[in-house]
Amino acid sequence: MPTDDQAPSRPPELNADFEQNVRFVSGDMVTGPLVVAARGLLGWGQAELAERAEIRRQTLAEFEAGVRRPQARVRDAVLSVLEGEGVRFVDIAGACGPVLNFSSR
């Protein structure tokens, strides 16, 4: 039984299946709800991400809510900040989501 500081290991065949089904998502496929989830991983509010990305909080709110599609400049600024903090967006067997790479923090 693993201790609290040890992750359970998977059989090698599951590791191979997992790695085969994981791919990084390109920036134009990142949606507002994925940005909300990424902020959640970092424990940030909209104001903090908007400030770091040097965009208006209202612009970020509209992107996250799907009210409008952001300009490439806005999307790239948001993704740059999130990726700089170790967030990566992945597709695992058809399900997209953010993950946090602790080794890059």
The values of phi and psi at residue 95, to 5°, are -105, 120
* Cβ atoms of 79 and 99 closer than 8 Å: no
- What local confidence, expressed as pLDDT, does residue 12 receive? 53
Entry pTM? 0.77
Q: How far apart, in whole angstroms, are the C-alpha atoms of residue 10 and residue 34?
A: 27
- What local confidence, expressed as pLDDT, does residue 1 receive? 44
**Stretch among 9-18, 33-42, 60-69 having the lowest mean pLDDT:** 9-18
Query: b vs e for 2-32, b when ≥16 Cβ sit within 10 Å of the residue's Cβ?
Result: eeeeeeeeeeeeeeeeeeeeeeebeeeebeb
pLDDT of 74 higher than 70: yes
**Stretch among 16-25, 45-54, 70-79, 86-95 having the lowest mean pLDDT:** 16-25
Tokens of 55: 């965009």
How long a stretch of residues is the chain? 105
Which domains does the chain carry?
25-104 (1.10.260.40)
pLDDT of 14 higher than 50: no
- What local confidence, expressed as pLDDT, does residue 2 receive? 46
* Cβ atoms of 78 and 49 closer than 8 Å: yes
Question: In the predicted model, what is the mean pLDDT of the chain?
Answer: 84
Residues 6+ apart with CB under 8 A from 71: none
